[in-house]
Structure 1
Amino acid sequence: MTIIIKALLLVVVAEMGDKTQLLAMAMAGKYKVKQVLMGVLVATIFNHALAVAAGSYLNSIIPMNIVKIVAAVLFLIFGLWTLRGDKIDEVDEKKNKFGPVVTVAIAFFLAEMGDKTQLMTITISAQSNQPIFILMGTTIGMLIADGIGIIGGAWMCKHIPEIYIKWIAGIIFIFFGSVTIYNAVSFWSPVYIILYILILMVLIYLFGVKFSHHSQVCNIALPNKNDPKDKLI
């Protein structure tokens, strides 16, 4: 049960503001919410099953100490990635020969390939020997995060500045990454710690401020007031 909760929480944090959450929110503007969530569920099961298999394989061939260091670095990358934010291109408006669920599933599966949440699933799987529970946790986490994005996206954009959501999620990853790398590496000294903090601060500034994507989530979640077809119900 612990690994399910861990996987669920980490994926929920990783998915907040991620391009697959943005895609789900955009799809909800074209299809019914239950159809979008069903497509997300199907795509996530297949996509994260591949990720869990990859993570379990890496766990069997790479020493655990190396896995911990790699996982710590990936946590830091996920944190910086979250601070920078994601953006998606406009959703293709051409009619599709597939039904809504299949259309969403295909789009979501392709968008999730190599995405932050898929890499997160691989990382968690490489640290644990419970693939079924990890798949359950990450799948439920994706549904929760995308459900929040679809149903609560407009409310969050009205009441919670997007930058707060990004920074809270990003700092959580950076914190876990820093703790993990501190425990995995034995040659820390005050000089190395200061150097690490300085480098991390520069990276946080670059990804969180200098090269950050702004307002993408709210552009999708909130309707266009100038468009009479685009109104909240």
Structure 2
Amino acid sequence: METLSLSALVVFLAEIGDKTQLLALMLTLRFRVPWLISIAILIATLLNHAAAAWFGSWVVGFISPNFLEYLIAGSFFAVALWTLLPDKLDEEEALISGSGVFFTTLVLFFVAEIGDKTQVATVLLAAEYDSMILVIVGTTLGMLLANIPVVFFGEKLAKRLPLQWIHRGAALLFVVLGIVSLT
């Protein structure tokens, strides 16, 4: 249960103010079909985080445990710093012309997550914990907890969230995870 809840919390905090959250807001304001957008976000996240967790679990077999411990800790520290940098949604990433709402959301979310801090966090969590399934479920849950309210309440939430403090809290959590992975 620790793996599931920690994975959800890490991704939830890292996702606040992230470009995929901005993407969720943009898609919602443009298409105004929250259920369809939400289902596409779920599927894109499951696919992306399953690949990331598989990679994290796979790479563990090729790296010595001592080096892996330092690599994971260093990566958590790097993600902590990265979390402090606010994301911006590029206009080029924002639209795929001629596609339906579901397909557009699915493709954009999957692509936007490639190399994103939440995907990196998923790789690290899968490398750190034995249960790849719990990591995938937890990180997907964290992504949904951060994005689905944006899909349904977008504009109102964007005006009320103190993003700077949320980013600091997420960065602190990644630092703590880095320290814990060294012990």
Normalised by the length of structure 1, the TM-score is: 0.71
Change beyond 3 A, Cα 1:157–1:25: closer
Contact 1:7 1:141 in 2 (8 A): yes
Point out the structure with max Rg over C-alpha: 1
Deviation string 1:116-170 (CA, Å, 9 cap, x unpaired) is: 1111111011112211111111111111111233345544443443322222222
Q: Distance in 2 between matches of 1:149 and 1:51?
A: 24
Tell me if 1:80 matches 2:81: yes
Corresponding residue for residue 27 of structure 2:
27
Question: Aligned pair in 2 of structure 1 residues 106, 160: CA closer, same or farther (>3 Å)?
Answer: closer
- Cα distance in 2 between the residues matched to 1:39 and 1:159: 26
5+ residue gaps in structure 1?
Answer: 184-233
Contact map agreement 1:58 1:126 (CA 8 A) in 2: yes
Distance 1:139 1:50 in 2: 12
Number of aligned residue pairs: 181
2:29 aligns to what SS in structure 1? Answer: coil
| Matched letter for residue 35 of structure 2 | K
TM-score scaled to structure 2, two decimals?
0.88
SS of the equivalent of 2:115 reads coil
**2:42 paired residue number:** 41
Classify the secondary structure of the residue corresponding to 2:130. coil
Partner of 2:14: 14
Q: What amino acid is the match of 1:4?
A: L
**Residues 94/76 of structure 1: CA separation in 2 closer, same or farther (3 Å cut):** closer
Give 1:45's aligned amino acid: L
Amino acid at match of 1:20: T
Distance 1:92 1:23 in 2: 7
Paired position in structure 2 for 1:163: 164
| Equivalent residue, structure 1, for 2:143 | 142
Change (3 A) 1:156 1:70: same
Q: Deviations over 1:87-138 (max 9, x none)?
A: 1113655742x32111100011111111111111110111122111111111
1:51 matched to 2:52: yes
Q: CA contact under 8 A between 1:17 and 1:82: conserved in structure 2?
A: no
The unaligned stretches of length 5 or more in structure 2 are: none
Structure 1 position 63 matched with structure 2 position 64 = yes
Q: Are the equivalent residues in 2 in contact too, given 1:75–1:174 (CA < 8 A)?
A: yes
Q: Percent identity?
A: 35
